[in-house]
Amino acid sequence: MLLFLFLSPSDPGSVDLEKVSNVIVDQSLKDQIFSREAGRICFTIVQAEAKQTNGNVFRRNLLNRLQQEFKAREETRKRSTHEWVCLVSFICNIFDYLKVNNMPMMALVHPVYDCLFRLAQSDALKNEEEVDCLVLQLHGIGDQLEKMNLQLMDELFNLLRDGFLLQEDLSSMGRLLLLEILEFRAGGWTLSETAQKYYYSEVTD
């Protein structure tokens, strides 16, 4: 509906783009499914605004709001794990879709890594919801992130490897998810057909 309101008015300048960006962020923090699609929606609005008004009001407001939410991320995590994983999903989705000259936005690289490093800490690895979020983001944008900063990706996977090998209080599902993502990266950000059958049969059983 937000997209329809923006793309269809006779006067695009009449739309309150700051309000639209805030509504998208607010909804993304409540609904994880929406947070995974929000990047696509934001990309479409950014493209439409640039075409219709040659402006960047929406993107500027979106990034300002993202910065605010990122700064408050630890408070968000303490308040609600659900909101926290939605925030991570949203930031990673924006990184995936919003490009500058067909390249990921450099300003988002370190915030994305910071979120993933937080999910790789021992207290987060005990929480299946956080492990699932971490693995999902790495499946989606790990390859892009690695190209932007290989050293940080190596450090992140050292943490994940240590967690898998040394942390005794992981759930069986959390351990399986970590093993799968370790193998996923080792295989060049892909899994063999045999490995896919193994991991996904284990998840569904």
pLDDT higher than 50, residue 37: yes
Which of the two residues, 16 and 136, has the higher pLDDT score?
136
- ∠ Cα 190 88 116 (to 5°): 60
Q: What residues contact 46, with CB distance under 8 A and at least 6 apart?
A: 56, 58, 59, 98
Task: Tell me the average pLDDT across 162-173.
Answer: 94
The first and second tokens of residue 71, run together, are 């700064």
Q: pTM of the full predicted structure?
A: 0.89
At residue 84, the pLDDT reads 98
Helical pair 81-97 and 57-71, crossing angle rounded to 10 deg: 140
Burial class (CB in 10 A: 0-12, 13-18, 19+), 149: middle
